[in-house]
Structure 1
């Protein structure tokens, strides 16, 4: 009987060690990756001077993708990179002459507009709480914007472009609903510098589809609201909002 117990303990020891190691893996090192399908309604105006032209934008489907790496090293921030495809197209019949990027468009003519404010977020952040009930992250984001604004009329495509870095503050809070597989969450990137400002906020609910020792797979449903106001950013001016519901999927291992 003693030998039998010893053999059982010898067999269980590696399994117990593996279980403990797997349970601690998220504490030691974690990788998050995900994406969103975002159905947006866009509104606003843009131009190459302070007098901006308003367009009737079409609804668009946008994409957003991210990866984040978290670790337990003191004072060293966690890292998140997020790619945002932000585009809109629309038309307007001008009620007065309008000048865009050195070209004048006459009153009564119809002009097509194109906006591309796609950008990449590089975020450094710290976790102040991290448990199943509540987690809170705070840090800073550098947005790398490669923007383009255009007026199109017939075969003429008049495009103004600019690029640069925009710093924002970053925060995220997550609250688990006890005795369920649901989590409420919200995150924000926002800043205001002189007359330019960027606000990017979202909130939603997350459902854990898969949860085991290897991976977590979460389904997300939420609403995102982005406002981009540029004041002479490489000669670009804008006051455009993108908002609407999204469906997302996140994997954590």
Structure 2
């Protein structure tokens, strides 16, 4: 499959090159708050229905371990809350999780596609001005999508979605000398067989602390997630989550 070729090609390129690891063991802990607006559609087949969603503040937190062993990848684990809900009027007949709903029905809709990233990466470049990481990400989507008629005694349906999706991963930081500031970008992406998933963010960070014991960065930026899923556990979707985030990161 195309996704397998992409991931294997990236892995081979990384192993063929010279990996530059941190000279010291480094532990990173971070957490973000992300204010999202959500739009998109989903269904139990390729006849998807558009839904309304409320804005929501999501959370994301991570831990990363970097080490001085050049051929063994560093590891990053990140848990991402990705959910939203709303009330929508169907514009056409709608099938979901074995249930059929007729046009003009009002539905409560809830999407929970919370996921965890399992990232293996190499530091391709790492100095005071520029840092570049490349690797692979196994994004484990594990959630539930549900709809229910708002009328008393109405029908309801829910669909479980659980899938590990391999993705290409990259991150870059460019320091701004004498300011304590840096600009950063990070993301994962894959496209295959009618599906496309990306999780991208970019922003600015400021070093509140920078010493031998601990570094502390605060950051603000913009994050965008697109989940275009084509028959993933009998689930079809094209959903967008995007908005401003702020966070903090500790480096020991």
Same fold (TM over 0.5): yes
Aligned to 2:100: 104
Q: Distance in 1 between matches of 2:42 and 2:70?
A: 44
Aligned to 2:89: 93
Report 1:67-146 matches (<5 A): 67-146=63-142
Aligned to 1:246: 245
Indicate yes or no: 2:214 matched with 1:218: no
Deviation, structure 1 residue 211:
1.4
Larger of the two Rg values belongs to structure = 1
Deviation, structure 1 residue 104:
1.6
Unaligned regions of 5+ residues in structure 1, if any?
1-25
Deviation, structure 1 residue 249:
0.3
Deviation, structure 1 residue 93:
1.0
Question: What do the CA deviations read for 1:169-204 (whole angstroms, capped 9, x no partner)?
Answer: 000010000111001000110001111111111000
Q: Distance in 2 between matches of 1:219 and 1:82?
A: 17
Deviation, structure 1 residue 223:
0.3
Q: Distance in 2 between matches of 1:153 and 1:251?
A: 45
Deviation, structure 1 residue 145:
1.1
Q: Distance in 1 between matches of 2:95 and 2:130?
A: 52
Match of 1:162, SS state, is strand
CA contact (8 A) 1:203 1:224 kept: yes
Q: Distance in 2 between matches of 1:229 and 1:78?
A: 29
**RMSD of aligned residue pairs (Cα, Å):** 1.1
Unaligned regions of 5+ residues in structure 2, if any?
1-21
> May I ask how many residue pairs the two structures share in their alignment?
228
Q: Distance in 2 between matches of 1:199 and 1:99?
A: 26
The list of structure 1 runs, each at least 4 consecutive aligned residues, that deviate by more than 6 angstroms after superposition, is none
CA contact (8 A) 1:47 1:149 kept: no
Aligned to 1:12: none
